[in-house]
């Protein structure tokens, strides 16, 4: 379940920076995966796209 901890850390980064510009690359780096894979796994786990989560 290490990947889940890394995903949680990336979500923490996003939450901490909602009032700033969020880098998909940085979030993916924190999650230890590519930006493409990060967006795919985020959508799979959360049921919404990463851009929807950030905007709403």
Whole-model pTM: value is 0.86
What span, in angstroms and rounded, lies between the C-alpha atoms of 2 and 48?
22
pLDDT tens digits along 9-53: 999 999 999 999 999 999 999 999 999 999 999 999 999 999 999
Question: Which tokens in the block code for residue 39?
Answer: 């967006």
Do 24 and 50 meet the contact criterion of CB atoms below 8 Å apart?
yes
Number of domains the chain is built from: 1
- CATH number of the domain bearing residue 44: 1.10.10.60
Give backbone dihedrals phi and psi of 47, rounded to 5 degrees, phi first: 80, 10
* Segments forming the whole domain that contains residue 29: 2-55
Report the alpha-carbon angle 47-50-8, nearest 5.
Answer: 80
């Amino acid at each position: 379940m290490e990947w889940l901890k890394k995903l949680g850390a990336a979500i923490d980064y996003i939450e901490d920076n909602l009032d700033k510009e969020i880098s998909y690359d940085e979030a993916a780096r924190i999650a230890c995966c590519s930006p493409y894979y990060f967006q795919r796994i985020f959508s799979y786990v959360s049921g919404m796209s990463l851009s929807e989560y950030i905007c709403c």
